[in-house]
């Protein structure tokens, strides 16, 4: 191990001081007075560390940003991390005191194979570990009279130094930023390094005692390294070329150029030594393993991964974020692979801005909630719960390494990790697949977990079994979000209305259809234009038939019928008619008669034992309440005891649905469960009279009934609702008209 280092604090390091605009830039060479013992057991005397500082320490010394550099960089981050360090950049030296020290073994002034004890030079240079470097940096910190580091930041090998330092001095480092790095060198990354060393060793000049030895090998090593820094996507985007016998292709030229560029500024001995330094990285060595070592970190930590990084894949970052107590993981999308940590400075700066403004809560990743799905609804739930007492522990997703800027440290592709975690008491299911959602529901309920779902198709098709679950288990299955977005209609029906006094429910229950219809009437756009707008806003899926075809509204109507009337019916027995066939002629008819078209659900008790359930577009008079509901909003009117009770709210969108889910979470915290009063005597009524408008464009057979008006374009008829089952209406626009 590296022994306690002694320095001559009375001797100031050699310093070059100059002004870059108004920013003070110092370069120094710090020398330790006594020989040091390395982790490998070897000894180095007169160890020197080259370093740079930018800016000035503030009065309370609270503005220190310490940058740890990667493999072949120097101590001047303003040169190689432009966009992140520099004037007008995130870390501005006019505001911060920025420090960067050159690692031992490098070619930029610190002790190295070319500048060290005579018996340690060239290929005799000992293996310097990451931990050796950090212990030396600690002495430099003390020499610079820095007691606290506001932010310690590093990418790749710089991240190795930073995480090691945060473990070694947990009380010194306040914020830790780790980019494209790992807690330990993987076999994969080590293999890349060994391949580069083999290339250097294949150069016959390597091993000879002069600085330029091994240059050809170094060029080849750099070519190998580049393949790990980028990826096939990056090369295929930037170096695409057609083969020509008379010239060099772009990919060949690029590899040659980058190799020559490194050879001109670096030497093979330093490169060889630094790859071994990287190989030494293992925070768990002599500390009881990685998990125990990382648990010692006190700093508020941000781990940033690059989704296309093949050298330190996202999985490496997940390990860091999982075991560092107060850490968050963000995955940045980039085509540049590992080099993204140097190139994607705009995205990184945004991550940093969000990180510094977040509340520091040591328990922010702990909780008793598991979630399945992180799509539109899941994102809304995560956003609302970030500052809530309800905390998410684990989120099961399909694609774990999809680029995300949130929740990445909570993700798993193994559903088992959510369903079988004994600490998770409530599961939020937020996926579209109704079959898989039902399997999740069964498993959750059987294990005594509470469940919250917004999957109205799954709930409607399995409602009888769900009711049985809710009656026979202590856990609760709530699904407010499955009916009317943000409107708390189910608990209102449950708590405030006597079921036997409910006479009728009328409502607009699909925000997507309502948004489209609003645009058709208010913006004079076409149906296709309105649909595309709804899709762009996240109100409609890429395949919108569930919304515009009335299926979504039907599933909601089935759920409402059970809670409002005790009427249990399978959705396959209920007809639904949508707006997908609406035409300009239908809109013109409505406007000419001062009417508005809305997609309306009506559930009505027609007699003592019959309930009608209709899902139909409807021509509505301008003065009626439903015409005042525009865009993605929903309205429900409960007619109870000859009095109308009006409920309105957002019916589509991430936050609207998530609001209902979080309300269910709060209800579960109060041990709430639904109270069902199912009446098995009730039957579906389809024999009632109805007045319909039918567009005749594709009508092959007229329904029986009394024709009230007919033109070449449309038919208005008073008929029996059952007649719609007899004729083929799949291509016709059909609407109720009063």
Please tell me the predicted confidence (pLDDT) of residue 520: 95
pLDDT at 626: 94
* pLDDT value at 22 more than 60: no
Which residue in this structure is represented by tokens 């609302």? 384
Q: Report pLDDT digits (tens) over 189-221.
A: 999 999 999 999 999 999 999 999 999 999 999
Question: Mean per-residue pLDDT for 366-383?
Answer: 86
d(CA 723, CA 395): 48
Q: Is 156 a known active-site residue?
A: yes
Residue among 182, 338, 476, 654 flagged as catalytic? 338
Q: What angle do CA 453, 518, 434 make, to 5 degrees?
A: 20
Catalytic site includes residue 309: yes
- For residue 6, pLDDT over 70 is answered with no
With CA atoms as reference, report the closest residue to 729 among 580, 514, 584: 580
| Active-site hit among 52, 110, 156, 270 | 156
- 287-314 mean pLDDT: 95
Known catalytic residue: 338?
yes
Binning pLDDT at 50, 70 and 90, where does residue 445 land? confident
Question: Mean of the pLDDT values across residues 617-636?
Answer: 94
Give the pLDDT mean for 478-492. 94
Closest CA to 419 of 467, 364, 372: 372
What is the model's pLDDT at position 291? 94
* Residues 624, 595: Cα–Cα separation, whole Å: 10
Q: Which of 132, 307, 309, 664 is catalytic?
A: 309
271 pLDDT more than 70: yes
Q: What is the mean pLDDT of the chain?
A: 90
Residue 89, Cβ density class (10 Å: 0-12 exposed, 13-18 middle, ≥19 buried): middle
Residue 35 has pLDDT above 90, yes or no: no
Q: Regarding predicted confidence, which is higher, 497 or 16? A: 497
- Retrieve residue 686's tokens: 């389809």
Residues 579, 580, 583, 584, CA torsion sign: positive
What is the chain's Cα-based Rg?
34
Sign of CA dihedral 725, 728, 731, 737: negative
Phi and psi at 511, nearest 5°, equal -65, -30
pLDDT at residue 543 in the model: 86
Percent of the chain with pLDDT over 90: 74
Query: E strands along 326-465, which residues?
Result: 327-332, 369-372, 392-396, 411-412, 426-429, 450-453
pLDDT tens for residues 107-136?
999 999 998 877 788 999 999 999 999 999
Buried b / exposed e over 313-348, threshold 16 CB at 10 Å, is: bbebbbbbbbbbbbbbbbbbebbbbbbbbbbbbebb
- 347-360 pLDDT, tens digit per residue, is 999 899 989 876 44
Classify residue 448 as exposed, middle or buried by CB count within 10 Å of its CB (0-12, 13-18, 19+).
Answer: exposed
pLDDT at 473: 73
SS3 433: coil
Nearest to 306 by CA among 296, 298, 316: 316
Q: Mean per-residue pLDDT for 63-88?
A: 96
- Closest by Cα among 302, 481, 341, 314 to 413: 314
Element (H, E) at 26: strand 23-31
């Amino acid at each position: 191990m590296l022994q306690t280092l002694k320095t001559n604090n009375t001797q100031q390091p050699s310093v070059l001081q100059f002004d870059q605009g108004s920013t003070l830039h110092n370069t120094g060479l710090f020398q330790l007075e006594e020989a040091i013992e390395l982790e490998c057991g070897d000894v180095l005397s007169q160890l020197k560390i080259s370093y740079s500082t930018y800016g000035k320490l503030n009065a309370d010394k609270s503005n220190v940003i310490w940058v740890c550099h990667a493999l072949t960089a120097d101590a001047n981050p303003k040169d190689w991390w432009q966009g992140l360090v520099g004037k007008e950049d995130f870390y501005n030296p006019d505001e911060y005191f920025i420090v960067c020290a050159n690692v031992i073994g490098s070619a930029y002034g610190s002790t190295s194979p070319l500048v060290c004890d005579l018996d340690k030079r060239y290929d005799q240079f000992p293996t310097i570990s990451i931990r050796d470097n950090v212990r030396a940096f600690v002495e430099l910190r003390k020499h610079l009279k820095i007691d606290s580091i506001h932010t310690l930041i590093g990418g790749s090998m710089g991240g190795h130094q930073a995480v090691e330092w945060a473990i070694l001095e947990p009380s010194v480092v306040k914020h830790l930023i780790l980019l494209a790095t790992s807690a330990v060198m993987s076999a994969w990354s080590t293999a890349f390094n060994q391949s580069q060393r083999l290339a250097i060793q294949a150069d016959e000049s390597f091993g000879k005692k002069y600085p330029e030895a091994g240059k050809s090998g170094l060029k080849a090593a750099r070519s190998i390294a580049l393949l790990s820094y980028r990826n096939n996507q990056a090369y295929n985007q930037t170096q695409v070329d057609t083969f020509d016998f008379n010239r060099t292709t772009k990919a060949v030229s690029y590899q040659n150029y980058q190799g020559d560029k490194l050879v001109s500024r670096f030497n093979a001995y330093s490169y060889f030594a630094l790859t071994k330094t990287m190989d030494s990285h293992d925070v768990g060595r002599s500390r009881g393993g990685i998990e125990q070592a990382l648990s010692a970190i006190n700093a508020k930590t941000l781990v940033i991964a690059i989704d296309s990084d093949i050298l330190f894949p996202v999985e490496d970052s997940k390990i860091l974020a999982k075991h560092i107590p107060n850490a968050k993981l963000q995955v940045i999308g980039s085509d540049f692979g590992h080099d993204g940590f140097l190139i994607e400075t705009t995205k990184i700066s945004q991550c940093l801005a969000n990180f510094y403004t977040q509340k520091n809560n040591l328990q922010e990743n702990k909780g008793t909630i598991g979630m399945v799905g992180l799509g539109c609804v899941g994102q809304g739930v995560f956003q609302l719960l970030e500052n809530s007492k309800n905390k998410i522990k684990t989120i099961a997703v399909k694609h774990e390494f999809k680029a995300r800027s949130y929740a990445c440290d909570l993700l798993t592709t193994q559903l088992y990790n959510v369903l079988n975690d004994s600490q998770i008491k409530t599961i939020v299911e937020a996926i579209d697949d109704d079959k898989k959602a039902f399997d999740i529901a069964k498993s959750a309920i059987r294990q005594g977990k509470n469940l919250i779902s917004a999957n109205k198709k799954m709930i409607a098709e399995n409602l009888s079994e769900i009711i049985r679950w809710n009656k026979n288990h202590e856990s609760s299955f709530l699904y407010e979000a499955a009916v009317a977005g943000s409107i708390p209609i189910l608990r209102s029906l449950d708590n405030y209305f006597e079921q036997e006094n409910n006479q009728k429910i009328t409502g607009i229950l699909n925000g997507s259809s309502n948004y489209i219809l609003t645009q058709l009437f208010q913006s004079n756009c076409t149906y296709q234009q309105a649909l595309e707008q709804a899709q762009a806003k996240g109100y409609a899926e890429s395949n919108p038939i569930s919304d515009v075809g009335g299926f979504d509204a039907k599933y909601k109507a089935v759920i409402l019928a059970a809670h409002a009337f005790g009427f249990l019916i399978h959705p396959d027995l209920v007809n639904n008619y949508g707006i997908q066939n609406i035409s300009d002629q239908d809109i013109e008819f409505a406007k000419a008669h001062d009417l508005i078209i809305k997609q309306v659900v009506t559930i009505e008790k027609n007699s003592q034992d019959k309930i009608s359930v209709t899902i139909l577009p409807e021509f509505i008079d301008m003065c009626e309440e439903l015409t005042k509901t525009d865009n993605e909003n929903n309205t429900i009117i409960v007619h109870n005891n000859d009095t109308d009770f009006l409920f309105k709210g957002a019916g589509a969108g991430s936050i609207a649905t998530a609001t209902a889910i979080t309300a269910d979470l709060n209800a579960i915290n109060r041990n709430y469960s639904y109270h069902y009063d199912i009446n098995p005597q009730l039957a579906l009524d389809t024999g009632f009279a109805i007045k319909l408008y039918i567009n005749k464009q594709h009508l092959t057979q007229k329904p029986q009934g009394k024709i009230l008006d007919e033109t070449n374009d449309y038919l208005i008829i008073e008929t029996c609702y059952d007649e719609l089952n007899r004729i083929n209406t799949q291509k016709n626009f059909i609407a109720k008209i009063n």
